[in-house]
Amino acid sequence: MKSIQNIVRFGLTVLLAALPVACVAPEATDEDLYVVAEADDLDALATEEDDLASGDEGLLLPTACLTKRVTFDETTQAFTSGYTPVTGSLASGQFKTTTDATTCNGGFRGKSPNGNKFACYDGATTSSVNAACVSVPIAAGIAYRAQVYARSLSTQTSEANKPSLQFFVAGAACGTPKALAYNSVDTAWELVSCDFTRLSSSIVTICVQDLSTSGWANDFGLEDLRIAAKAGQQLGECIDGGGYHRECDGNGNCRTVALVDGEGA
């Protein structure tokens, strides 16, 4: 039986399919300095849908809501880069994963709050080199957010040419460039993001670039890169069923919101 919800959802799908590709600026509340450790919500994922019977409506299920996550702790590199990977000290245009930016260059500053690894970049000698790219399946008409935590590795507040990071979706600039600020706190990170919707389903390459020109302070770190469906989107297994309304929560999890009226369990 078609419920009203299904009809509404079909209508929204048609409406979204008619929209052009859109990239909008990140919300102002995301602009603040951010500590990665406080955003690590994946450990809270539960796996048993049947627990809903006990009334746990906050249960989070791993689903297609999280299209990609790169923690930079993977044993095999989980992204591509226009920078050259190295294991020792860095020169311009090189990167490594590390727990402490001083292993990249004695003049760098930065650590992941979790004590694990992040990607450490010695700025390229030209602008707009891809720092990290992932190719991911994107569903038509679904609103996504790409995000990554970033920081300047500079230890000098007066240095020019600080990194200005921006996302590119299928080669098109997405979101607004984020000029990374000098920061004296080793574990302080800033959020860079972009929102996008595609007209057709396809594998899409999403990259983070530094737009600034070469300079003494053009060095940066990346941590916790994610592409996830935005809150309220429904895709994959995160759709209504069994009497419950389910939707992506914006953090990569599928959330059961409420009982669906008129549908039996």
- Site size toward Ca ion, by CB under 5 A: 7
Question: Of these, 63, 71, 94, 164, which contacts Ca ion (CB under 5 A)?
Answer: 71
Assess 187 for contact with Ca ion (CB under 5 A): no
Query: Residue 126 gets which letter from DSSP?
Result: S
The DSSP bridge pattern shows strands 219-229 and 66-70 to be: antiparallel
**39 CB burial (10 A radius; 0-12, 13-18, 19+):** middle
Select from 46-54, 56-64, 165-173, 211-219 the region that touches Ca ion (CB under 5 A): 211-219
Assess 213 for contact with Ca ion (CB under 5 A): no
If the CB atoms of residues 102 and 116 are measured against Ca ion, the closer one turns out to be 116
Assess 127 for contact with Ca ion (CB under 5 A): no
If the CB atoms of residues 127 and 176 are measured against Ca ion, the closer one turns out to be 127
Question: Of these, 30, 31, 40, 73, which contacts Ca ion (CB under 5 A)?
Answer: 73
Q: How far is the CB of 218 from Ca ion (least distance, A)?
A: 5
If the CB atoms of residues 152 and 166 are measured against Ca ion, the closer one turns out to be 152
Distance CA 61, CA 241 (A): 14
Nearest by Cα to 174 from 154, 191, 151, 197: 197
Question: Of these, 195, 219, 247, 249, which contacts Ca ion (CB under 5 A)?
Answer: 219
Distance CA 252, CA 59 (A): 13
Nearest 5°: the CA angle 87, 125, 163 is 85
